[in-house]
Amino acid sequence: MAARQRATRFIWIGAIALAVIGVAAATRRALVLFWPGVFAGNYPPAAAMDTGFSRHMALTLVHILPGALFLVLALLQFVPSIRAKHLQVHRWLGRILVVSGLVIGISSLVMSFTMNIGGSNETAATTLFGILFLFCLIKAYRHIRRKEVAQHREWMIRAFAIALGVATTRPIVGMFFAFRKLTPHEFFGIAFWLGFTLTFLAAEAWIDYTRDHAIQAHAFADSIHDRA
């Protein structure tokens, strides 16, 4: 029990940290788009990226604003007390989550081919995981419509992990910038492959680690609701 509690705390800390990074990145990007003279970067590679995003301002905003919303709402959806005590809130937030997820998933596929920095390597990573994100999101929705809560949980964890993968690329990109061994065109694809893969594998490990416990918990909750 103590080991499970420590593992749960570790996962929550990691998820919150990555969500904060993702929301901060989206906020910074929006500020640069609206007020480039104040918030745009002076470091040449960063300035070049800011210019690239500014050429596709509408597409970027359609992607990053629902993306930030998705990260915040997904965290709330995994809070046990909200699900247990405020089921209707959980359901309505879930509907908003699915809509925002569809928007960011589709927009990410468009961005993969119109405004990538790392060339074909980045396009391959973002396209693969963009499709996988949409697949996980739709699977999660279909399971909850059938009241298959345990399966819904697992597919939502996978979708959330892919969304967090975008945030995971930020510190990875930062390390590449710090060492300056490769150009952004060379390392952006690598960063995206690493970011998405690390969080997705972590999600699979967590699903496997908690599957039996989650099934028992959902079965107990269903029995309580049936008696009520």
Tokens 């300035």 sit at which residue? 47
CA–CA separation, 99 and 165 (whole Å): 19
State both tokens at 211. 């599957």
**Residues whose CB falls within 8 Å of the CB of residue 33, separated by 6 or more in sequence, listed in order:** 53, 54, 57, 60, 61
The tokens of 58 are what? Answer: 């509408």
Dist CA 52 CA 113 (whole Å): 13
Residue 1: its pLDDT value, please?
64
Q: Which residues contact 158 (CB under 8 A, 6 or more apart)?
A: 132, 136, 140, 200, 203, 204, 207
CA gap 11, 30 in Å, rounded: 28
Say what the pLDDT of residue 177 is. Answer: 82
What is the model's pLDDT at position 225? 43
pLDDT of 193: 97
d(CA 178, CA 144): 44
- Residue 224: per-residue pLDDT: 38
pLDDT, block means (10 residues), the chain with 228 residues: 82 96 95 84 68 88 96 94 89 95 96 89 96 98 94 96 95 86 86 96 94 62 44
Radius of gyration of the chain (CA): 19
pTM of the model: 0.88
Of 172, 169, 174, 94, the C-alpha closest to 129 is 169
Residues 189 and 121 sit within 8 Å (Cβ to Cβ): yes
pLDDT of residue 215: 58
